[in-house]
């Protein structure tokens, strides 16, 4: 089990030996390297960056950001997850782990789906698409 501590303090001795990955759901980009001026956007990218860094990585989540994905650090040892930014004004970062789907929805029965393929909502909020 991995414990996640949302705190602001990191020991200076261990901080210098660790890779720090910044993640900002609003202004981040997964093509970035994860620095303070160029944060990643998704928790999946942060997890991958921590994996390449080895154990003892630091993942900093931007205050006020909300991720609708999971953060699985179960294969890591000594990873610290903390908040950065103005927590007092923007609030703590939130890992909700639930995709929000938007767009038009229609009810259907099993008979409606037989032979025509089931329509599914595009995860990016687009119109339903055939399977």
Q: Per the structure, how many domains does the chain have?
A: 2
Tokens of 48: 């991958």
* pLDDT for 57 beyond 90: no
Is 31 found in the same domain as 79? yes
Is 16 found in the same domain as 72? yes
Average pLDDT over residues 69-83: 84
* pLDDT for 41 beyond 90: yes
Q: Give 118's DSSP letter.
A: -
Domain housing 83: 12-95
Residue 20 in any domain: the answer is yes
Q: What is the pLDDT of residue 31?
A: 96
pLDDT interval class at 73 (50, 70, 90): confident
pLDDT interval class at 7 (50, 70, 90): very low
Average pLDDT over residues 72-100: 87
- With CA atoms as reference, report the closest residue to 76 among 97, 38, 47, 103: 47
């Amino acid at each position: 089990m991995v414990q996640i501590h949302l705190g602001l303090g990191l020991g200076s001795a261990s901080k210098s030996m660790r890779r720090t990955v910044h993640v900002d759901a609003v202004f981040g980009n997964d093509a970035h390297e994860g620095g303070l001026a160029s944060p990643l956007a998704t928790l999946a990218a942060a997890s991958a960056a921590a994996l390449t860094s080895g154990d003892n990585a630091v993942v900093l989540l931007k205050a006020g950001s909300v991720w609708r994905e999971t953060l699985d650090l179960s294969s890591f040892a000594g990873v610290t997850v903390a908040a950065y930014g103005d927590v007092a004004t923007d609030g703590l970062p939130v890992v909700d782990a639930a995709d929000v789907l938007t767009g038009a929805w229609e009810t259907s029965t099993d008979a409606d789906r037989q032979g025509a393929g089931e329509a599914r909502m595009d995860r990016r909020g687009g119109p339903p698409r055939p399977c």
